[in-house]
Structure 1
């Protein structure tokens, strides 16, 4: 794990900024706790024992490397570009979230913390963290919005089976943003003995850096696998963006490869002309939320808007500070996909390739479906299939009347 740079600029700098985004906009006592986490992380990430333990867990516990699958039937159906799927859905616990949760749980153990606290939207971060905490033997408390609890019942049951304490959040919109608020409040009760294991590349420094580093294995594997399977780097790498952890994991290894086009896909929900979307980078503006500077969807008084996405894991009015920076410098193209496009992609991939994607990941699939036919057959699109969709099956079946 080395310091990331783009055009000679450290990402992040010593103060945790990606350009003007990131940092620590938090009370002094919480800054002390965050700085201690940063020091511990910088210590542990250099230790050969930690590096080897994480490597072994990735291989023997998670099942890495995840395959890079050529979706031949989908490619033929669409005509044009060849579509490949980075199968993070095959990881233990069913998504990319386990990559950073193992790192966070090992860090908590290294720091001697007595409890790990987290938020979750779709439940994948919650399940992965509950799994990692069970593995290392640390109590785990997960805060989840009541709306998401009702949508994502299978993941709720898994968290309880794994021994996590689940806190239902009923305030506000009872979704991801409110779960983050609730988890932060619990963490503030005892930051000396608790650790808040943030579920994406968001929040105060060092979490955007730390979560990115643990997720960067995705892009490292894509780089090696693409050379092996089609003899060159991908032409496009596509991933959904809410907070942005799976996308930054896929993009990081390619930031200096200008020929590789990086595409992040946000939820346009019911439409960008409605108030039912979560297109933060598309329609938001630079501001602050949850201890960081980033693009935010907010009202005229500066309060975060009540956002919407059919995918609970993308239902967030902020976004990772590194994504905000990459938008401004033009290195990543940020586009959108609607709820309906997402549902269509969910069903198409299920019935054409026998792979049921998470609704979050289906946004990236939707972009590829929309785009592939306009490209030639020698172009390769790699979709980061960040999670599997069995967690969404009951909800989708009800939505479509199956």
Structure 2
């Protein structure tokens, strides 16, 4: 997680809460703060700076490079986690900050998000609320973007890099692509946010098969659908799993903290942010800094129930349009929310299904390999079978995480919505 600001004149402070920064710094092993070319402390963030100020929280090395008149940030999994085995990961965010100028480059799906806050100082941050004061304008930056912002305004160049000329549509190829994504993007020690559904189960099984040390973390209310299902599936595939039962008091506390810190308000966003924060906190408490999740699989392979409804009501072209729209907009809210909630707990969120090779493969598929009413995620279920996942798991239908965990239902009751 990071915040960076470039001033066009002396400014008094970065618009961040000291208490939030202290909490974040306590959850991450490394806190790098650079102000006007010099290392600084959290207390100094409230002091005036002339040229630029940067705050980065991470668990690695070579994330911040100081060059006198500017600072360069390398926010890639290999740098954030200090794991050279991840040097070929396609997930990254690069930034350069100097007096009055910020430039940055995002990856194919903005998996390491960035938002611009328009003010003096101009600022960029993983989550806009960390650098935003009331009534300021902000904007998340999209995938495959090179940008520069200075006193002349914002310049953006977007170049979508896609590989969709794939003619082998076999589940075996999909399985190999997921294995390749794990090889490039997943550290030798990680946790999987595990609900027992096929998205997280396939990732967990393939990570286990690769020889990596992986902990399955399941979050929900006592007796919830996801806790019951994940316990059964973990036993079937032989996974090491921990269950985090969220009490009413804990849910209220975490929801209030996350809503205040991240500035989210909807019930769905709050529920999912609590889910990711709680899972990441359990991983961090077990000494793990990378949380793996199955986000993107629904948009790529036709997992949402609404796709069946659109298919049946409007036909194939409308459902394909809806899936493309949802995938194209995943970076606007879902990834930013989940990444930020995970970082708030001291972990890096990694989404293997958004590897460009898998996205390109999914784009090349005919709809009949994704949805065939009443079935969804057809080819992903076939890949599960090829991977040796039992039929009872591969064929299982599951509720969305905010419902299956029981979190949204309880929040709705507590908030009297």
**TM-score normalised by the chain length of structure 1:** 0.34
Please identify the structure whose Cα radius of gyration is greater: 2
